[in-house]
Amino acid sequence: MRHTKPEPTRRIAVVQSSVNVRRLTPGLAPFAGMGIDFWIIDLYRQPELLLASLREWKPGAIVTEWLPGLTEALLELGCPVILVPSDQAVAGAFSVDVDDIAIGKLAGEHLVARGYQNFAFVGRGDAHYAKQRLEGFRSVVGDVPVYWEEFRDWRQYDEYWRDPDEDLVGWLAGQATPLGIFTAHDPTGRHILEAAAQAGLEVPFAAGVISANDDETVCEMARPALSSIRLPWRQLAAETVQMIEAIWAGNPPTQPVLVQPLEIVVRGSSSYEAVGDPLVRKAMQYLVEQISAIVSVEEWATKIGVSRRVLERRFQTSLGRSPHAMIQHERIERAKNLLTTSDLPVSAIAERCGYQSNERLTVNFRASVGVPPAAYRRGSREKRA
């Protein structure tokens, strides 16, 4: 009697941190309606309980993150183990990852285009992806000073915070400016923004910061908001399922699957070109922080301790724009951001941008953008839909 090999169960255990579950779920969900049963289990559950649960459930594949000790224990369960996102070489495991070298290149190209002349990198020394992102960054900007930090606990990724230590603040203060900084991931980027403030570096004028992953819960809550490289989480999830189906069909891959990063989401930490003149940096920092209160160029100049004539000359030399033009530019950019990201009425947006009336905002906005504020808001929402 001929025995046929039994079909693998179409159960996939997603053994991931809560952060990665949030990232990958939108890309996995479409496959749940195609005969695949997903089970999400916390990567940081007590290992003995986690492994016992998996033995009972008997998945046909496990999608997990690389975690020393646990990864090897998962491999011993006998089903395919796919590391996502990772291209860490682990015997017996398969990998789907974003191209981390390409991420570093994107970061370097962005900071160069912004006019920064000096560069630095901050990341975790024990992280494989951080070293690859540094490699890509260096391929664009050349050799750079590096600060390896300790990331204390992945379980607190979103809420990660600690006061910048004196070594980091001193290291930043000692770098030449204008300085373009690439951080390996978003919590580190937020940490660097806090350290830069303590070091007296105006962001983004003296120091621009860009990170990677584009986790909005981290980037949007930073001050200034953190520019970051968006990663293709939906595609990573889809590639993972397709890899598992190929393994089930007897066609396992021989190399990691690498997916290219998406676009750069530019926020306040790198939203302006680098500024070499310390006086102009000070003036721009004041403008960004006090845009709703600045009434005139004369008042602005007085607040930073110079005459209007001096301010105008320094701005023209450094930026090729007048102070008045920069006020108008910042007001319009702030209005565009609020129209896109909030439900505030146009009258409230006008006040927050320093306009004395809704009508003044509308006139200036139409002249700059080509449409009135309400139409701009509708158009931005239709694009996101």
Q: What is the CATH number of the domain that holds 247?
A: 3.40.50.2300
Residues 144 and 81 in one domain: no
Instruction: Output the domain CATH number for residue 371.
Output: 1.10.10.60
CA atoms within 13 A of residue 274's CA, in its CB half-sphere: 22
Q: Is residue 3 part of a domain?
A: no
The per-residue pLDDT for 42 is 92
The answer to whether residues 62 and 121 belong to one domain is: no
Same domain, 206 and 309: no
Write down which residue in 217, 245, 270 finishes a domain.
Answer: 270
pLDDT exceeds cutoff 60 at 30: yes
Q: What is the pLDDT of residues 140-188, one digit of tens each?
A: 999 999 999 876 555 566 565 667 788 999 999 999 999 999 999 999 9
Same domain, 373 and 286: yes
Residue 4 located in a structural domain: no
Same domain (yes/no): 180, 195:
yes
Q: Is residue 45 part of a domain?
A: yes
57 and 105 part of one domain = no
Do the Cβ atoms of 314 and 284 come closer than 8 Å? no
- Regarding whether 290 and 219 lie in a shared domain, the answer is no
In order of 37, 148, 240, 251, the CA distances from 246 in angstroms are 17, 39, 10, 5
Give the domain extent around 80.
11-96+233-255
Total tally of structural domains belonging to the chain: 3
Q: Is the pLDDT of residue 6 over 50?
A: no
Mean pLDDT in residue range 104-116: 95
Q: Is residue 260 part of a domain?
A: no
Least confident of 120-134, 151-165, 317-331, 370-384: 151-165
SS3 string, the chain, reads: CCCCCCCCCCEEEEEECHHHHHHHHHHHHHHHCCCCEEEEEECCCCHHHHHHHHHHHCCCEEEECCCCCHHHHHHCCCCCEEECCCCCCCCCCEEEEECHHHHHHHHHHHHHHCCCCEEEEEEECCCHHHHHHHHHHHHHHCCCCEEEECCCCHHHCCCCCCCCCHHHHHHHHCCCCCEEEEECCHHHHHHHHHHHHHCCCCCCCCEEEEEEECCHHHHCCCCCCCEEEECCHHHHHHHHHHHHHHHHCCCCCCCCEEECCCCEECCHHHCCCCCCCHHHHHHHHHHHHHCCCCCCHHHHHHHHCCCHHHHHHHHHHHHCCCHHHHHHHHHHHHHHHHHHHCCCCHHHHHHHCCCCCHHHHHHHHHHHHCCCHHHHHHHHHHHHC
pLDDT tens digits, residue range 256-295? 999 999 999 999 999 888 888 899 989 998 998 898 899 8
* Residue 51 maps to a domain: yes
Residues with Cβ within 8 Å of residue 319, at least 6 apart in sequence: 273, 275, 280, 326
pLDDT at residue 67, as a whole number: 87
1 has pLDDT over 50: no
Q: Is residue 6 domain-resident?
A: no
Residues 194-231 pLDDT 10s: 999 999 999 999 999 999 999 988 999 898 999 999 99
* pLDDT category of residue 3 using cuts at 50, 70 and 90: very low
Q: 77 and 50, same structural domain?
A: yes
Does the residue 34 lie in any domain? yes
pLDDT at 5 over 50: no
134 and 167 housed in the same domain: yes
**Domain co-membership, 113 together with 206:** yes
- Domain stops at, among 255, 289, 306: 255
**In the prediction, which pLDDT does 273 show?**
83
Q: Is residue 1 part of a domain?
A: no
Question: Residue 332: its pLDDT value, please?
Answer: 93
**Do residues 219 and 267 lie in contact, with contact meaning Cβ atoms separated by under 8 Å?**
yes
Give the per-residue pLDDT at 107: 98
Kindly compute the dihedral angle of the four CA atoms of residues 325, 340, 102, 18, in this order, to the nearest 10 degrees.
Answer: 140
One domain, residues 121 and 216: yes
Q: Is the pTM of this model over 0.75?
A: yes
- Cα dist. 366→332, 346, 369 in Å? 10, 13, 5
Non-local (6+) Cβ contacts of 318 within 8 A are 275, 276, 277, 280
Judged against a pLDDT cut of 80, whether residue 321 lies above it is answered with yes
Q: Which of 229, 191, 234, 236 is nearest to 213 (CA)?
A: 229
Distance CA 205, CA 284 (A): 7
Same domain, 122 and 198: yes
Tell me the average pLDDT of the chain: 91
Cβ–Cβ < 8 Å for 366, 377: no
Domain boundary among 223, 255, 287: 255
